[in-house]
Amino acid sequence: MAYALDPAAKPLASMSERVIDAATRITAAEGWSAVTMSRLAQDVGVSRQTVYNVVGSKEELAKAVVLTELGRFLSVVENSFEEHTDSLVDAVRAATVGVLELAVDSRILRSVVAATHGSDTDLLPLLTTHAGPLLAQTRAVVAHGLRHYQTPLTGGQIGIAIDTVVRLVLSHAMQPSGSPEDVADELAWITGRIVGY
């Protein structure tokens, strides 16, 4: 079903959100290879040129889709830090459970994981070999959350600790090896040992 959208009546951000949402829905249902600018234009109700103007190339659209999905996960992390300002270990545990539970229902993440068994793997590098923007944004959110806590770690050590926990959570989100609660307990234990609790 296409949206009846007048390009002149909608701000660019709203149109961008519609295009990204359409790309997410198509990817979840049929895979990233089914996403084309023509199809997005039809789905959103604008010209193909408008889609290009709003999101750029398909590669840029892929980044936008992944980073938009990442925003949902980072909201969980931010809320966990805000709700557990008295205990870093509890904050990490809550954030891990929330992220891994969300990962189970993530249409984009599930599509990317499913694509690893086929040929439609264009989004996979954005979560693996080209995950720089994703990891940088995640590290920044976690580092900001750490402002609540006193730790014996130096700046460099904090960076290493954040990177370790972030990569472990991403690994479990991509390929679960236990329940979210069990994984969260393990990462909370690791966090406690890292910061000397």
Question: Domain containing 38 — which CATH number?
Answer: 1.10.10
| Residues 84 and 121 occupy one common structural domain | yes
Which residue has better confidence, 69 or 95? Answer: 95
In which domain, by residue range, is 79 found? 60-194
Averaged pLDDT for residues 122-129: 68
- The total number of residues shown for the chain amounts to 197
pTM score of the predicted model: 0.79
Average pLDDT of the chain is: 85
| Residues 157 and 77 occupy one common structural domain | yes
| Residues 25 and 100 occupy one common structural domain | no
Alpha helix stretches (DSSP H) within 146-195: 155-174, 180-194
| Residues 113 and 131 occupy one common structural domain | yes
| Residues 97 and 190 occupy one common structural domain | yes
Model pLDDT for residues 82-111, shown as the tens digit of each residue? 999 999 999 999 999 999 999 988 888 877
Which residue has better confidence, 35 or 3? Answer: 35
Structural domain total, the chain: 2
4 found inside a domain = no
160 found inside a domain = yes
| Residues 155 and 190 occupy one common structural domain | yes
pLDDT class of 13 with cuts at 50, 70, 90: low
| Residues 129 and 82 occupy one common structural domain | yes
pLDDT at 110: 78
Alpha helix stretches (DSSP H) within the chain: 12-30, 37-44, 48-55, 58-83, 88-105, 107-115, 132-145, 155-174, 180-194
Q: Is the pLDDT of residue 7 over 80?
A: no
